[in-house]
Amino acid sequence: MVEEMQKIMRLLLFFSLVLLGACSNESTGVEKSDGKIMVTTTIGQIADGVKNIGGDKVEVISLMGPGTDPHLYKATQGDIEKLEKADIIFYNGLHLEGKVLDVLKKINDKKPTYAIGEVISEGSLLEDTEDSSAVDPHIWFDISLWQQALEKVRDGLIEIDPDNEEYYSKNADDYFSELDRLKEYAEEEMAKIPSEQRVLVTAHDAFGYFGAAYNMEVMGLQGLSTESEYGLGDVQELVDLLVERNIKAVFIESSISERSINAVIEGAKQKGHEVTIGGELFSDAMGEEGTEEGTYIGMYRHNVKTITDSLQ
Ligand SMILES: [Zn+2]
């Protein structure tokens, strides 16, 4: 009796091993045990787009959380593991994630890795005003360009999971309709700012596309990347401009220290010109997960509201 039981147990074990083997052979390396596609992204804006387009078919991990500056960000050992585990990777490119590029390039040979900003035609990209060989990577502030970039997310998911093509296409269409509504809202609101107040002063030049879209002049204390430190000359130049143009509000950014903008406010004060902080904008990083600002649409609306509230 005991012997028979043992025999049955051994048989059961044998069959379960065979079954396990069959399952993992069946997997193309794309689907994980829970059936979801593992997606790793760099910035939260991309992660949010992937969540909207991939829906319940994807598990998304973003390497850079709230308050993280992508220009300075270096990949940790944990990040490399997250990239290794991914089935597919999306990043912005256009040199936004300058210090993670080497890691991304290495992984590029092993699995589908897409720089979604690099699908945008050169003619639509803004040039770096200080270095004509570089382009402005902050494309998510132009809603139409961002939609083009997210089409690459949709296409990448379809390529890796063609069975669900219809699902991804439908989700993308729904999300793009929401983006159209966001664009209408932003255009309507931004148009309310009087012409003499249409100057947006921030810690770094993240808002070039935003300015171009809504006819705002944009000035940042630091250049397109936060890699270069701002100098005393930059502070002085911006102070002079605030005084000269009678600009009353400047904006801090959630991913950049307030120190630089405070130096400008202090400098203006010494010249007898009162400048206030118009509020905090989300530029390169989004808000906390679970909050309105933790989504692309929410952060965009927050920025529009913050800017229009203080410049009207
Ligand atoms: Zn930036």
Domains of the chain in sequence order: 37-182 (3.40.50.1980), 188-311 (3.40.50.1980)
Confidence band, pLDDT 50/70/90 cuts, at residue 78:
very high
Residue 22 · residue 14 · CB < 8 Å: no
Tokens of 27: 């997997």
Residue range 31-38: average pLDDT?
77
C-alpha 12 to ligand 1 mean position (Å): 58
The span from the CA of 255 to the CA of 285, in Å, is 6
How many A from CA of 96 to the centre of ligand 1?
7
Residue 92 has pLDDT above 90, yes or no: yes
Mean pLDDT of 34-60: 97
What distance in angstroms lies between residue 94's CA and the mean position of ligand 1's atoms? 11
Do residues 236 and 260 lie in contact, with contact meaning Cβ atoms separated by under 8 Å? no
Ligand 1 center–CA 224 separation, angstroms: 6
Centre of ligand 1 to C-alpha 265, Å, is 21
pLDDT tops 60 at residue 58: yes
- Determine the pLDDT at residue 130: 72
Nearest CA among 40, 31, 24, 34 for reference residue 81: 40
What is the per-residue pLDDT for 23? 43
pLDDT band of 56, cuts 50, 70, 90? very high
**Cα 215 to ligand 1 centre (Å):** 20
> Distance between CA 226 and CA 43 in Å, rounded?
16
**Residue bearing tokens 């250049």:** 223
Q: What is the pLDDT of residues 179-238, one digit of tens each?
A: 999 999 999 999 999 998 999 999 988 999 999 999 999 998 888 788 777 777 788 999
User: Predicted confidence band at 3 (pLDDT cuts at 50, 70, 90)?
Assistant: low
Buried b (16+ CB within 10 A) or exposed e, 70-95: bbebebeeebeebbeebbbbbbbbbb
- Looking at residue 35, its pLDDT comes to 87
Residues 20-33 pLDDT 10s = 444 443 334 455 55
If you average pLDDT over every residue of the chain, what do you get? Answer: 90
Going from the Cα of 220 to the center of ligand 1, the distance in angstroms, rounded, reads 10
| Ligand 1 centroid distance, CA of 205 (Å) | 7
Quote the ligand 1 centre to 18 CA distance (angstroms): 52
* Residues 6+ away with beta carbon under 8 Å from 1: none
Give the pLDDT of residue 24: 40
pLDDT at residue 244 is higher than 70: yes
What's the CA gap between 39 and 60, in Å, rounded?
A: 5
Q: pLDDT at position 11, please? A: 55
| Ligand 1 center to 90 CA (angstroms) | 18
Going from the Cα of 204 to the center of ligand 1, the distance in angstroms, rounded, reads: 7
- Look at residue 13 in the predicted model and tell me its pLDDT: 52
Expressed in angstroms and rounded, the spacing between residue 256 Cα and the centre of ligand 1 is 9
Decide if pLDDT at 138 tops 80.
yes
